[in-house]
Amino acid sequence: MTIREALPILGFLVVAVLVSLFVTSNVVLNFLVFTLILAIAAQGWNLLGGYGGQYSFGHAAFFGMGAYVSAILQQRFGVNAYPAVAFGMVAAALLGYAIGAMVFRAGLRGSYFALVTLAFAEVLRILANAIEITGGAAGLLISLNLGAGNLQFANRSSFLILAAVLLALAMLMTLAVEKSRIGAQLVAVRENEAAAAALGVDILAVKLRAISLSAGLTGAAGALYAQYFLYIDSNIAFGTWISVEALLAPIIGGAGTVFGPLIGALILQGLSEGTKMLIGKIPGVDLIIFGALLILVVRFPLHRIPGVIAARWRGKGAP
Amino acid sequence: MTGQGRDPAFLAVRDLTKRFGGLTAVSDATFDVREGSITGLIGPNGAGKTTLFAMIAGFEQPSAGLVLLDGEEITGRKPHDLAKLGLARTFQIVQPFAGLSVRENIAVGAFLRLAKRRDALALAEEVGQRLGLGPQLDKPAAALTVAGRKRLEVARALATRPRILLLDEVLAGLNPSELRDFLPVLQDIRAGGVTILMIEHVMQAVMSLCEYVHVISGGRIIASGEAAEVVGNPAVIEAYLGHGAAQRLAGHA
């Protein structure tokens, strides 16, 4: 990774800071914070799914683990928000490693992998709804205690900067992976496992590292979500909605690219809000739009567009 | 590298057997590959050549038998471990990373021994040039011709810096001029210190490249020796042309 390669990410950060300084509408700020949190979750999915070709349908498991561990540590054990969020990330990464160790060792791929990850997320959702420490069906409130020391902000623009910085870090990490040995090996695994193994790639080790990183990132998004809304329940934290958002955003915005998840999250949330404004609050109408969009993207692979542009640009740039 | 000089059996295959249910695909295969040689493995279709390769390279678990590389037993080890030990293979049905450029394809192999991207890309470039892929380095692998893909298979394997290269029909499907261009490349690889074991159907190439040839038929090694003497072996002629063929050919001569 070079400074030049990282420049677009710094550009994103500058834009985000400018927006936070000049936009005052709470509706817009709220929309942007939510979109950036989704983009972080989606960036996690992108590492494993976009680069590694392992399509998880259960990233809610990691999102919820990050959210619940962080919230429980703060609320039940009085831990400060910063270490609590960090522990949430680590817990999600460990969960990712554990699920990966079981699922990848068993050699599950493709739709089988997707189904098993969905099952893990659903089991966690039901568990979180049933046991006491998570607050059960009533959910879990994080006590309002405003102040940067508690990672709680009265104004949304501060939170927007926080989310933007975290997303920028997630993108930098993704870029670093993309430009490193592990990134090349991960893409090789996505393209052809037998050929990768023949070239000395330890398939299982590569997948385990990818799912741990991926889960940690999505867990960070979960912890951030809890910190922003100060409330989670099992359907928010482990619900299928976040699994769907985390995979749709990169697929629509460009799977296996650094900016894909952000672009996809902006498109998805923009469409979702737009339809709500136009059609009114019919429950699930945004999901209908998502479904239609997904069909279109699968039929006409929009996600290749960034690659096509990059290839054309490379073609012109090269002598 | 052990520095012991020429071990007569750099790769030693001993009584290697593979059974799929009731079918014995490879039966008690025993042969040697000398260090620094180009050794051929020939035989009719369905003889068990590719299964034998797959067992040596760790893609299939043998039912019985041993494989030794430079005196070390490597039977049944994982493909990626074998690649680290210096055993690389190509696939009969080429397996490019279709979404990546030719350079990136080769770099995956180069990353085995090089941690830094810059170094891996430099080695990929060097190996690509050597294999005649220079003008295609930035094209997607999917855009290569059959001959180009075969070269890419070899280039990727070579970028892992192997001690022994297992080539599975890399010359099949090439036209005569492509073949003529490719033979010196393989000789050049051997001259660079890489031992080669190749499955090949193109007899012209086998005769001109291989010092030693092992012939497999019906899952058994039926002849071993220098190329010229093996092709005159009656058992080999019968394996290819049917029972009694050697006698009839001798009668006509």
Minimal C-alpha gap between B95 and chain A (Å): 6
* Residues B186 and B232 occupy one common structural domain: yes
Average pLDDT, stretch A86-92? 97
What are the phi and psi torsion angles at B98 (to 5°)? -60, -35
| pLDDT at position A60 | 97
* Residue A137 pLDDT > 50: yes
Same domain, B80 and B27: yes
Domain boundary among B161, B187, B207: B161
* A282 — pLDDT class (breaks 50, 70, 90): confident
Statement to judge: residues B197 and B219 lie in one domain? yes
Number of domains chain B contains: 2
Does B139 score more than 70 pLDDT?
yes
A213: pLDDT strictly greater than 90? yes
Q: Do B41 and B111 fall within a single domain? A: no
User: Which of these ranges, A10-14, A41-45, A147-151, has the smallest mean pLDDT?
Assistant: A147-151
Q: What is the pLDDT of residue A166?
A: 96
Which burial class, exposed, middle or buried, applies to B179 when counting CB atoms under 10 A from its CB (0-12, 13-18, 19+)?
middle
Query: Sorting pLDDT into bands at 50, 70 and 90, what band is A10?
Result: very high
Task: Measure the CA–CA gap between A318 and A124, rounded to whole angstroms.
Answer: 50
Res. B180: pLDDT tops 50: yes
The answer to whether the CB atoms of B108 and A198 lie below 8 A apart is no
Q: CB of B78 within 8 Å of any CB in chain A?
A: yes
Mean confidence (pLDDT) of chain A: 90
Q: Is A197 an 8 Å CB contact of chain B?
A: yes
A194 and B140: CB-CB below 8 Å?
no
Quick one: B249 and B143 in the same domain? no
Name the token pair of B146. 């059959």
For residue B6, pLDDT over 60 is answered with no
Of A192, A203, A314, the CB nearest to B97: A192
Q: Does residue B156 sit in the same domain as residue B189?
A: no
Q: What is the pLDDT of residue A305?
A: 56
Q: Which residue of B has its CA nearest to A203?
A: B80
Predicted ipTM > 0.90: no
A199, A203, A308, A314: best mutation site toward chain B, by most B Cβ within 10 Å?
Answer: A199
The domain boundary residue, chosen from B161, B178, B206: B161
Closest CB from B83, B100, B138 relative to A200: B83
- The arithmetic mean of pLDDT across residues A7-36, rounded, is 93
Q: Work out the percent of chain A whose per-residue pLDDT is above 70.
A: 94
> Does the distance separating the beta carbons of B111 and A195 come in below 8 Å?
no
| Contact check, Cβ <8 Å, B156/A195 | yes
Q: In this structure, are B179 and B148 located in the same domain? A: no
A147 vs A82, which has greater pLDDT? Answer: A82
User: What distance separates the 2 farthest-apart alpha carbons in chain A?
Assistant: 65
Q: What is the pLDDT at residue A98?
A: 97
Looking at residues A195-205, what average pLDDT do you find?
A: 95
The per-residue pLDDT for range B41-88, each reduced to its tens digit, is 998 888 889 999 999 999 999 999 999 999 999 998 999 999 999 999
Residue B84: C-alpha distances to residues A186, A187, A202, B45, B67 (Å): 18, 20, 10, 31, 16
When pLDDT is cut at 50, 70 and 90, the band that residue A83 belongs to is: very high
Q: Within this chain, do residues B31 and B105 fall inside the same structural domain, yes or no?
A: no
Please tell me the predicted confidence (pLDDT) of residue A93: 98
Domain interval for residue B184: 1-86+168-253
Look at residue A97 in the predicted model and tell me its pLDDT.
98
Interface of A with B in 168-187 (CB under 8 A): 179-181, 184-185, 187
Same domain, residue pair B60 and B119? no
Question: With bands split at pLDDT 50, 70 and 90, how would you rate the model's confidence at A308?
Answer: low
Q: Which chain B residues are closer than 8 Å to A314 by Cβ? A: 138
Q: Which two tokens stand for residue A169?
A: 């870090």
pLDDT at res. A319:
37
Among B247, B203, B230, B215, residue whose Cα is nearest residue B49: B215
Give the gap in angstroms from C-alpha B109 to the nearest C-alpha of chain A.
5
Q: Say what the pLDDT of residue B5 is.
A: 46
Query: Residue B10 and residue A306: Cα distance in Å, rounded?
Result: 48
* B:20-59 residues touching chain A, CB 8 A cutoff: 57, 59
Q: What's the CATH code of the domain at B18?
A: 3.40.50.300
| Whether the Cβ atoms of residue A46 and residue A259 lie closer than 8 Å to each other | no
* Least confident window among A46-55, A136-145, A303-312: A303-312
**Pair (B99, B150) in one structural domain:** yes
Best B60, B81, B97 residue to mutate vs chain A (most A CBs within 10 Å): B97
Q: Does any CB of chain A come closer than 8 Å to the CB of residue B91?
A: yes
Q: Do B156 and A185 count as a contact with CB atoms less than 8 A apart?
A: no
Average pLDDT, chain B: 90
pLDDT over 50 at B2, yes or no: no
Same-domain pairing of B69 and B175? yes
